[in-house]
Chains A and B, each alone.
Chain A
């Protein structure tokens, strides 16, 4: 498992999540896609749903059950949920620890 593998898995999860949405709400499948803030298409409900899909995808790919929204994630100055890239970096860090 390396960083590009994790990014690919997160993007796969985003694509899967997009299937639940109407076309105009779908997220771009790029690392730069914003998940938080004014430029994000997600509301808090959408972010929760996306995180659930990402956790399941990471489990299916790497056989490790992660909790992405743990206390550490919530206490970071720069939220790991701000973009697809930062979420992927955070997931990689957690996967590397376990």
Chain B
């Protein structure tokens, strides 16, 4: 994997940070980005500070990757924001912020990454959805709707990019102990876990395992798929 290049959005903390550490340790050259500077230092790691929905900044970063690396093998579209609120009380600014980061950001990165990937006729894109989509969770209307959009994007891009040798899949984690869950009441999380087939919190290793499957060279016949963790369907 020493020549392979991976881009991870939202890489400063939480799952993104765990992914950055895991794949740099495995020999990938990893490029991460987030809205703030990262404290993670590694010879194989480079960090960009940007907002994932800022087209100009994302394009500039991709040009920089093209010039420095000349290739991109994997994109992990991990950056995302959530908001728990009753639909009747959700401010429009929150709606806009969630759609911009989760939908626009995911689309923009898929678009820009695929342009670079198609040069080598190879690419692996992994998007992030959530079990809140199949659960139709109350209080998560906009978050779940934004991720339902990501699932649609995943399926359609899988078709559009297949001839370029690029697969596009998504992973839908269960609740995992990260900042995204901050402020969600414990009983709400317990109720959620009780709806899973396997009733435990998710861990970064569960996400990494599913991503490993999508990244494998042998997974070139797997595209447009959504894998939910915890036995959710």
Point out residues on A near B: beta carbons under 8 Å. 45, 49, 52, 56, 59, 65
Partner of A49, one of B56, B63, B118: B118
B26 within 8 A of A: no
CB-defined contacts of B163 to chain A, threshold 8 Å? 45
B106, chain A: closest CB distance, angstroms: 19
Q: Residues of B within 8 Å of A, CB-based: how many?
A: 8
B152, chain A: closest CB distance, angstroms: 20
B42 within 8 A of A: no
A42, chain B: closest CB distance, angstroms: 14
Cα of A52 to Cα of B66 in the assembled complex, Å: 13
Cα of A60 to Cα of B66 in the assembled complex, Å: 11
CB-defined contacts of A49 to chain B, threshold 8 Å? 118
Chain A residue with Cβ nearest B67: A60
CB-defined contacts of B68 to chain A, threshold 8 Å? none
CB-defined contacts of A65 to chain B, threshold 8 Å? 56, 59-60, 63
Chain A residue with Cβ nearest B121: A20
Point out residues on B near A: beta carbons under 8 Å. 56, 59-60, 63, 66, 115, 118, 163
A-B contact pairs, 10 of them (CB 8 A): A45-B163, A49-B118, A52-B115, A52-B118, A56-B66, A59-B63, A65-B56, A65-B59, A65-B60, A65-B63
Given A52-B118, A59-B63, 8 further pairs, Cβ under 8 A: A45-B163, A49-B118, A52-B115, A56-B66, A65-B56, A65-B59, A65-B60, A65-B63
Cα of A52 to Cα of B214 in the assembled complex, Å: 26
CB-defined contacts of B66 to chain A, threshold 8 Å? 56
CB-defined contacts of B118 to chain A, threshold 8 Å? 49, 52
CB-defined contacts of A59 to chain B, threshold 8 Å? 63
Cα of A59 to Cα of B56 in the assembled complex, Å: 13
A57, chain B: closest CB distance, angstroms: 12
A28, chain B: closest CB distance, angstroms: 23
Cα of A65 to Cα of B118 in the assembled complex, Å: 19
A60, chain B: closest CB distance, angstroms: 9
